[in-house]
Amino acid sequence: MTLKMGVIGAGRIGKVHAETLVQRVPNVSVAAVADVVPAAAQDLAERLHIPVATADYKAILADKSIDAIAICSATDTHSQIITEAAEAGKHIFCEKPVDLDLKRIDAALAAVEKAGVKLQIGFNRRFDANYARVRQAIATGEIGELHMVHIISRDPAPPPISYIKVSGGIFMDMSIHDFDMARFLTGSEAVEVYTIAGVKVDPAIGEAGDVDTAFVVMKFANGATVTIDNSRKAVYGYDQRVEAFGSGGSIATDNIYPNAAIISTGEHIRRDLPLNFFMERYTQSYASEMQAFVDAIINNKPVPVTGADGRAPVVMGIAAKKSHLEQRPVRLDEITA
């Protein structure tokens, strides 16, 4: 069986997913791409030989030959398109976050359940081999009882201010991946969050109502403590590391480098900088998550990252921001729709 898919959104992440589907995922045919900027859709369609380019995503939803869609549009469109796609009978892959508002998330998830279609949320890092190995070590007891997890997630450069103003801020557009990773690695749910954050990188980020540097401490229901270390700017490249520590040992992952060469001279020992951004660092994980989505549809299996998995990190992000603003620990059960 070949699954026919449409891609909604031809921006940065839309290009990543369209290229992945066309070039790296078998049993898929990308039938159409949509973007509110017609030239963006047209350019992507021409480059990847996608038959249809349109400015109106509803044309994709109306095409009965298309089985599924990938929502890669602006965050504030996600929940609406999920609802419309479910009503059109399409299976749905949606980039994070589902929405910034819990009521709109709940309405979208209810529409999916009512329609009986599949919904997978785009937390690609779960499909990275390094993080999967950390999860395995925790889940099997290889490092004993889990005590602590430390997640380092630092971008090489901040996004444009125009993006920050609509993204929901660092806790929704960046830390949300780490909140999901904390749930994935611990196999548990956060019960309390405490955030220390500030503006260290660019005053314009603060003027836009956001922070660019944050440290989040979370208590989890299974007794583990998780710390998350975020920065909008790591001058040396994309910094993505994890350490899990338990009663029987620890497991840690390093950054990914373009090569394994070590340069040794009389003055220093050094290596090249790590890969510079998420497109290079997580290339395989994007392919693996899309393959999992396609397999779930073709073989009628549960998706590996559900709508509920998409909702939980939004609650964590709201709690983290509330903690920062109120300068106190915030329990997750304080956050209601």
Which CATH number covers residue 157?
A: 3.30.360.10
Specify the pLDDT at position 89.
98
Q: Are residues 213 and 97 in the same domain?
A: no
Alpha-carbon gap, residue 221 to 121, rounded angstroms:
23
List the domain range (segments joined by +) for residue 217. Answer: 126-277+313-334
Q: Are residues 199 and 268 in the same domain?
A: yes
* Domain final residue pick, 72, 91, 117: 117
- Asked if residue 195 belongs to a domain, the reply is yes
Rounded mean pLDDT, 34-40: 97
Specify the pLDDT at position 39.
97
Which CATH number covers residue 47?
A: 3.40.50.720
pLDDT digits (tens, 9 = 90+) for 77-108: 999 999 999 999 999 999 999 999 999 999 99
What is this structure's pTM? 0.94
Angle value at C-alpha 24, between 276 and 253, nearest 5 degrees: 40
Per-residue confidence at 337, pLDDT binned at 50, 70, 90?
A: low
Q: Are residues 168 and 134 in the same domain?
A: yes
* Domain final residue pick, 90, 117, 144: 117
Specify the pLDDT at position 224.
98
- Asked if residue 93 belongs to a domain, the reply is yes
Residues whose CB is less than 8 angstroms from the CB of residue 78 and which lie 6 or more positions away in sequence, other chains included: 71, 94, 95, 97, 98, 99, 108
pLDDT digits (tens, 9 = 90+) for 261-298: 999 999 999 999 998 877 678 889 999 999 999 999 99
pLDDT digits (tens, 9 = 90+) for 196-210: 999 999 999 999 999
- Asked if residue 30 belongs to a domain, the reply is yes
Please tell me the total count of domains within the chain.
2
Average pLDDT, the chain: 96
- Rounded to a whole number, what is the distance in angstroms from the first to the last CA of the chain? 40
